[in-house]
Amino acid sequence: QVQLVESGGGLVQAGGSLRVSCAASGRTFGSYAMGWFRQAPGKEREFVAGINWSGRSTKYADSVKGRFSISRDNAKNTVYLQMNNLKPEDTAVYYCAAGPMSNTGYGGPWDYWGQGTQVTVSS
Q: What is the pLDDT of residues 12-57, one digit of tens each?
A: 999 999 999 999 997 788 899 999 999 999 999 999 999 999 999 9
Provide the pLDDT for residue 69.
98
Provide the pLDDT for residue 12.
98
Provide the pLDDT for residue 102.
83
Alpha helices in 41-115 (DSSP H): none
Provide the pLDDT for residue 26.
79
**101 or 4, which is more confident:** 4
Closest CA to 79 of 25, 21, 4, 28: 21
What distance lies between CA 16 and its chain's CA centroid?
Answer: 18
Whether the per-residue pLDDT at 84 is higher than 90: the answer is yes
Distance, CA of 62 to CA of 22 (rounded, Å): 22
Residue-wise pLDDT for 93-111, tens only, equals: 999 999 998 888 888 899 9
Whether the per-residue pLDDT at 75 is higher than 80: the answer is yes
Provide the pLDDT for residue 25.
94
Helix (H, G, I), strand (E, B) or coil at 70: strand
Distance, CA of 54 to CA of 30 (rounded, Å): 7
